Amino acid sequence: MAAVAVMIFANADLVLPETVLRGALTVEAGRITDIRAGADVPAGALDCGGDLLMPGLIELHTDNLERHIEPRPKVGWPHEVAILAHDAELAGCGITTVFDALRVGSIPSRTKGNYGEYARALADEILGLRASGVLKISHYLHLRAEICSETLEAELDKFGPQDRVGIVSLMDHTPGQRQFRDLTQLRHYLMDKYGFTEAEFAAHVADRRALSARVGALHEAAAVAAARRMGAHIASHDDTLAADVAQSAAHGAGFAEFPTTLEAAAACQAQGIAVMMGAPNLIRGGSHSGNVAAAALAEAGLLDILSSDYIPAALLQAALRLGTLWGDLSRGVATVTAAPAAAVGLADRGRLAPGLRADLIRVARHGDTPLMRGTWVLGARVA
């Protein structure tokens, strides 16, 4: 992607790490080179008219690509077209760096509720499009390691340090714990998605618990070892109890995806583990699966990072809403820029500062709704 040689964004409300400043920002060869105060508009500059100018958003966990690949149940879509559509959608929502979440670990042998391997082939397609230069934004991989599965070790062995795997998350969906501690939620999910009867549901719970007892500890250790081999950051998923958090800390998890309780979020803070919650949870006013509300964690000072999860447009809207809730726009924006960048070691982006990448978004507002005015990656406009 070719970067613009020199560009000035003028008369903008610059969302800096500690404050919002009316000023101008200069980009040269894809990097921020200067920030200065003032509402003047030099000749040749882009007059932002008082719009917000902030770092491009950084998305650590999104299932959005799955929606493009399978737009209806059992309806497949050509992968290259789907990846390009996903990439364009994220750019249009202000996301300039994404960690595409791909499941590793499958259960192919069961007749109902089974699922197969796909991550390696899809990763090759994403990385191939990236190498060809046709993607608008920065793509990394996030491997969602299903601990309660049959094939996790074999699937992880197909990835290496060359694959841009930035995150390995430890996901244990064994019935009766974490996200599915309340079996009522799991029952509704399986009956709605797969048409399980009560007898089939009971058999499913028994089967998965037996599988977890047989391979759970082995798979958890394998996922942690694979993350270290690939140079990836470890994330926990759906921590529910303080004991879950202690286990995550022992594995070296740097951030926790969607802790389900206030207890778990507080334990994460005590362990120095950043807490990530879903932007849809914040916007909707609660979790769709009955877990702790993101707003409750924000009000308690226990929310560090937002993820769009399954709605890309939610990320910016939720960050601005946090800015209002906290009375600090910079702090709200940091949950989708500086904080996720720090969680995965991307020191070259996530803040407006000289020397960093010119991944930028221009945003106006219609009441409480953000209006995207433009997205730039390395100073080149992509949306």
- Same domain, yes or no: 9 and 70: no
- Which residues make Cβ contacts (< 8 Å) with residue 147, sequence separation at least 6? 105, 170, 171, 172, 173, 174, 212, 215, 216, 219, 220, 223
156 and 264 share a domain? yes
Residues 6 or more apart whose Cβ sits within 8 Å of residue 28: 5, 6, 379
123 and 48 within one domain: no
Do 189 and 90 fall into the same domain? yes
The amino acid present at 341, given as its one-letter code, is A
Burial class (CB in 10 A: 0-12, 13-18, 19+), 1: middle
Say whether pLDDT at 178 is over 80: no
Q: What's the average model confidence in pLDDT over 143-166?
A: 97
In 3D, which of 62, 61, 146 has the Cα closest to residue 106? Answer: 146
pLDDT surpasses 80 at 191: no
136 pLDDT higher than 90:
yes
- My answer on whether 26 and 72 are in the same domain is no
Using the predicted structure, report yes or no on whether residue 228 has a pLDDT greater than 70: yes
Q: Are 290 and 273 in contact (CB under 8 A)?
A: no
Is pLDDT at 276 greater than 60 in this prediction?
A: yes
Domain total for the chain?
2
Strands 274-278 and 305-307 come out as: parallel
Residue (of 138, 141, 190, 197) closest to 165 by Cα position:
141
| pLDDT tens digits along 324-376 | 999 999 999 999 999 999 999 999 999 999 999 999 999 999 988 999 999 99
Task: Report, as an integer, the average pLDDT of 120-146.
Answer: 98
354 and 249 part of one domain: no
Residue 267 sits in the same domain as residue 209: yes
- Indicate whether 230 and 257 sit together in one domain: yes
Same domain for 213 and 111 = yes
| Burial (Cβ within 10 Å: 0-12, 13-18, ≥19) of residue 105 | buried
Q: How confident is the model at residue 267 (pLDDT cuts 50, 70, 90)?
A: very high
pLDDT given at position 200: 79
Q: Average of pLDDT values for 94-119? A: 90
| CATH code for the domain in which residue 263 is found | 3.20.20.140
Helix axes 198-230, 183-194, angle to 10 degrees: 100
**Parent domain of 113:** 57-346
pTM: 0.93
Is residue 48 domain-shared with residue 92, that is, in the same domain? Answer: no
> With 70 as the cut, is the pLDDT of residue 3 above it?
no
Give yes or no: residues 383 and 253 share one domain: no
Higher pLDDT, 198 or 238: 238
pLDDT digits (tens, 9 = 90+) for 207-219: 888 888 999 999 9
Q: What pLDDT score was predicted for residue 4?
A: 54
Is the model's pLDDT at 112 over the cut of 80?
no
| 371 and 309 within one domain | no
Return the pLDDT at 113.
66
Q: Tell how far CA 159 is from the center of its chain.
A: 20
Q: CA angle, 314 as apex, 313 and 320 as ends, to 5°?
A: 110
pLDDT digits (tens, 9 = 90+) for 33-62: 999 999 999 999 999 999 999 999 999 999
